[in-house]
Every structure is written in structure tokens, then in C-alpha cells.
Amino acid sequence: MSYRPGRHFLQIPGPTNVPDRVLRAMDGPTIDHRGPDFQALGKRVLSGIRTIFQTKHPVIIYPASGTGAWEAALVNTLSPGDLVLMYETGHFASLWKKLAERLDLKTEFIGGDWRHGADPAAIGERLAADTAHTIKAVCVVHNETSTGCVSPIADVRKAIDAANHPALLMVDTISSLGSIDYRHDEWGVDVTVGGSQKGLMLPPGLSFNALSEKAIEASKSSRLPKSYWAWDEMLPANANGFFPYTPATNLLYGLDAAIEMLHEEGLDNVFARHQRHGAATRAAVAAWGLDVLCVEPKHHSGSLTAVLMPGEKGADALRKTILERFDMSLGAGLSKVADKIFRIGHLGDFNDLMLVGTLGGVEMGLRIAGVRHEAGGVEAAMEVLASATEGQAQQAAE
């Protein structure tokens, strides 16, 4: 391959760009994971990660992908044959369902159209009908990475409570943690699943289970097999800053730096930045005369935007053109929406100027690939970004 000047634009919705500060932190030498230096690191990251989940309860860190954290959430709390209620928000909700079935759990899927987040009323209605309380857990994806739709978790919690149902609430935040406001304790979530490679600005390789007291209590009677994922092995070791098996030390160095960076910016500012970038991207899409996959404004994501292709062109051909001409990767459509959409990731270590460059690459790609569209998407996005900047300056002056 010939040399390509400049940096590759990795604009898939995860893994995201890893900032230099995190990369430099990971450059540190691997240390004794039973020694005092590691213990100090372990205590720091185990405490710090709680602040990102907005919880006072334990957060377990695994050397694994987010899929591992899905499995850990289920095997630690449930028993063979238990019924789990899940909501079809997209590809990843469907994968979580498939994983549950492989674990000898029964699943019930509330069907969705992949263009909305989960409907709390439908969840509440199903739970209210379950007078025998056969449903043991409700599983919802907070930000569905395949569609760009956010589910209202606080409202799901209210629906569960209104039905007076004891089911555990489990939530996937893999593409929302550290980018979209999420409150484990306040929203009454029992197990929150997370991953390192998106809003946390790390490479893939760490995953998380944030727990509630109810979840920990449920784990004491769970009968699904587990060893690597077992909370009862993790929690005592974590209390002293250690792990029951060899941890991913250098990724923990990076996590330590990432937590610092998120708090230096301020979580509220992080969430506002992602909202601004989502709004600007949707303004560009509208100006191009294209449609966003997520049709409900209150479900729009700050992490990514999924864009529907006009009928005569495939999304994969456009993505190929943009990669070859501008060295920029966009997310593919998955399963039901394969070749029908492309996904623009705007999460993690990302700023206004990077977004303008990203949208410029998309607009040029649309033109080169002969995709029917209107010009002016980048300008529309810049108007949103400029207005937000002016508003922030005015607030600061006041």
C-alpha cells in the first residue's frame, strides 16, 4: 500500500479514537498485580469508575469485550429456565437475546421497528400481566449502536415500579457510558453493562458490571454456571484493590487517565458536547435531504447518527468510496439494515472541528458516489455548532 498522509478518520460508533494522553498512560511498564503499586491503581480505578456510572455501589471490571459483560450480568443473577423480558431496539438487543438463549434462559422479545427506543408502556403492560412474576429480569439497551436510538431508562424503571413487579432491571450502556447522561443509582438499575472502547476513549478489552444491592442479593441464589464471571470471586478481591486473576494492567492505566479526562472536562459538559454533535449531524443530514433512521426526536442519540440511503444506492458502496478517497471509516448497517444505512460515530475524544471534517468527508463522498442529495449539509451543521458556541459564551459572560 502507498503512504496516505494525515490521520485516518475513525468515525464508526466504536471503537473510537484513543487520545494520546490515554495511549501514553498505557505505555507504562506492566507491574506486579499483587504488589502495592498495583493495589493503589486498582483502588483508584475501581472507585473512579463508579463516578462515571453515577453509582455508590460496586462496579466490576473484566478483561473482556462488552459481550462478556452481557453474559456476566445474566449468569450472576439468574437460574436455568428463568424468563427474561427484552426489547427489540436493534441488532445488539437481538444479540443479547441470542446470548441469553444460549445460557439456557427463556426469552420474550417485545418487537420493535429499529427506529425507536424501547417503549416503557409496553414493558409495563407486559409486567402487569405477569401476576405470577415469572419474568425474572428486564433487559434494555440504553443507546442502540446499530440504530442511533436511545431508550428512556428512567421511564422503564417507573413502568416496572408501577406494575409492582420484582424483576431485575439490566441495561446495556456500551455506546452511551461516558457520552450520554446515565444514572445507575438514580434510575434504579440493578445491573449496568459497559465497555471500554467507546465513550471511555480506550481500546477494546475492558467491560463492566455496575451492581445494585438487589442484584448482589440475587447472585447468592443464582444457579447458572459461572467461574470467570463470578461476582463472589471479584467483590472480595476488588475491596482491596486486587483481582482474582491476572488483570489487564495497561488498560487499567488507560482507564485511570480516561476517568481523569472525563472529570476535567466535567460530565455535564461531556454530555452536552455529545448532544451538540448529534444535533449538528442531524442538521447536516436534513440539509442533504436524507433521513435519520431514528424517527423519534426524544430518542435521538448523541453518540452516533444512522443515515438512511436513498433507494437507488447502497450504503456499503458509499462507505467504500469514502474510505478509499478520504481515508475515513463509517459504520456499516447491521443485519436488518445491512447496506441500507451508514452510521456516523461522533462520540469519545471528539470536538467540533473533527465533526466538521467528518461531515465534509461524507458530503464529498455523497457527491463522488452519485448519491442523490442536496448541498449545504456542512454549513447547516456549522450553524448549529456556532449557535451553541455563542450560547456558551453568553452564559459564561453572565
When the pLDDT of each residue in the chain is averaged and rounded to a whole number, the result is 97
- Provide the domain count of the chain: 2
Last residue of a domain, one of 223, 242, 263: 263
**Which residues make Cβ contacts (< 8 Å) with residue 296, sequence separation at least 6?**
115, 116, 117, 149
What local confidence, expressed as pLDDT, does residue 398 receive?
53
In this structure, the dihedral spanned by the alpha carbons of residues 116, 120, 123 and 129, taken in order and rounded to 10 degrees, is: -140
CB atoms within 10 A of CB 337: 22
Strand 206-211 to strand 59-63: parallel, antiparallel, or no bridges (unpaired)?
antiparallel
User: Domain for residue 3, yes or no?
Assistant: no
Strand partners of residue 330: 11
What local confidence, expressed as pLDDT, does residue 313 receive?
83
pLDDT at 11 over 60: yes
Nearest in space to 282 (alpha carbons), one of 270, 296, 265: 296
pLDDT tens digits, one per residue of 158-202: 999 999 999 999 999 999 999 999 999 999 999 999 999 999 999
Task: Provide the domain limits for residue 366.
Answer: 9-16+266-397
CB atoms within 10 A of CB 347: 29
pLDDT at 391 over 90: no
Residues 91 and 158 occupy one common structural domain: yes
Residue 241: C-alpha distances to residues 60, 211, 315 (Å): 11, 17, 47
What local confidence, expressed as pLDDT, does residue 318 receive?
98
pLDDT tens digits, one per residue of 283-339: 999 999 999 999 999 999 999 999 999 987 899 999 999 999 999 999 999 999 999
pLDDT at 397 over 80: no
Strand partners of residue 306: 343
What local confidence, expressed as pLDDT, does residue 1 receive?
64
Distance CA 10, CA 351 (A): 13
Residues 92 and 171 occupy one common structural domain: yes
pLDDT tens digits, one per residue of 214-241: 999 999 999 999 999 999 999 999 999 9
Q: At what angle do helices 377-397 and 267-288 cross, to 10 degrees?
A: 150
What local confidence, expressed as pLDDT, does residue 388 receive?
84
Residues 305 and 376 occupy one common structural domain: yes
Residues 207 and 321 occupy one common structural domain: no
CATH number at residue 331: 3.90.1150.10
pLDDT tens digits, one per residue of 110-131: 999 999 999 999 999 999 999 9
pLDDT range class, residue 2, cuts 50, 70, 90:
confident
pLDDT at 392 over 80: no
What local confidence, expressed as pLDDT, does residue 131 receive?
98
Q: What percent of the chain is modeled with pLDDT above 90?
A: 95
Mean pLDDT of 102-112: 98
pTM of the entire predicted model: 0.97
Residues 147 and 230 occupy one common structural domain: yes
What local confidence, expressed as pLDDT, does residue 332 receive?
98
Residues 272 and 257 occupy one common structural domain: no
Last residue of a domain, one of 263, 279, 311: 263
Residues 241 and 386 occupy one common structural domain: no
Residues 172 and 45 occupy one common structural domain: yes
Residues 296 and 254 occupy one common structural domain: no
34 belongs to an annotated ligand binding site = no
Q: Which of 48-57, 148-157, 311-320, 326-335 has the lowest mean pLDDT?
A: 311-320
What local confidence, expressed as pLDDT, does residue 396 receive?
53
Mean pLDDT of 362-369: 97
Last residue of a domain, one of 216, 235, 263: 263
**Which residues make Cβ contacts (< 8 Å) with residue 160, sequence separation at least 6?**
123, 124, 127, 138, 167, 169
CATH number at residue 38: 3.40.640.10
Contact 86, 96 (CB under 8 A): yes
Residues 163 and 44 occupy one common structural domain: yes
Mean pLDDT of 134-163: 98
User: Domain for residue 2, yes or no?
Assistant: no
pLDDT at 153 over 90: yes
What local confidence, expressed as pLDDT, does residue 389 receive?
72
